Amino acid sequence: MTQAVLTLSSSKNYGAWSLRGWLLLKLSGLEFTEKLLPPDDADMRAEILLLSSSIRVPSLLHDGIKVWDTLAIGEYLHEIKPKAGLLPADRAARAYCRAICGEMHSGFSAMRSSLPLNIRGVFPKFKTWTRVDADVKRIADIWTDCLTCYGGPFLFGKKPCMADAMFAPVVSRFRSYDIPLDALCVDYCTHIWTLPAMQEWIAAAQLEPDDFDELDAEF
């Protein structure tokens, strides 16, 4: 069997897009090895410093095929591992899942810039501004609608899927920056946070040396 290789930024504490790609691989069940970019790599810096949502990390190499956009990685994994359920079986739910994944991929810029991923960070009563509040409300509305329509505990039912991987860094942001949420959304965050794969990533982030000096201004 061809071994898959997933290229990631070297920081698991700050790498939101890398976390999404890594979770997609874990949820798919495809065995893979990690290749970490060096700290001074331009693509890693672009991811960490929030310069683009279309950078080339994470990047999946499998069976001679290279896929470097997070949504494309999810779609590719759905094709080769359809039984994993990365996309819902129902056509309407699948369309909805793709729509909110796309919205996460290209939207919420105010939240991303004001609340950068920092898994180890704890900022009680962090003060947000109006545009961030609007992003938070929209995300909470998406979660509430999905959890209500599909019964939870994940966005499209009993198993985590592509949408949950796409929103996983948001869960970490909301925890780090003490963002108030209602009970339904708090329960969802708990389910994402306690996923074995998420816990594995968090443990690696906790052990990571804090040597990204130029990030100090972001926090």
Residue-wise pLDDT for 94-131, tens only, equals 999 999 999 999 999 999 999 999 999 999 999 999 99
What pLDDT does 213 receive?
45
CA 17 from centre of chain: 6
What pLDDT does 135 receive?
98
Strands 32-36 and 65-67: unpaired
Start-to-end CA span in the chain (Å): 43
The arithmetic mean of pLDDT across residues 53-57, rounded, is 63
| CB atoms inside a 10 Å sphere around CB 47 | 26
> Alpha-carbon distance 95 to 50, whole Å?
28
- pLDDT higher for 1 or 17? 17
What pLDDT does 42 receive?
62
Angle between helices 130-150 and 162-176 in degrees, nearest 10: 140
> Alpha-carbon distance 167 to 171, whole Å?
7
The arithmetic mean of pLDDT across residues 32-48, rounded, is 71
Residue 82 has which token pair? 């359809």
Of the pLDDT bands very low, low, confident and very high (cuts 50, 70, 90), residue 47 is low
Of the pLDDT bands very low, low, confident and very high (cuts 50, 70, 90), residue 215 is very low
Mean model confidence pLDDT for the chain: 90
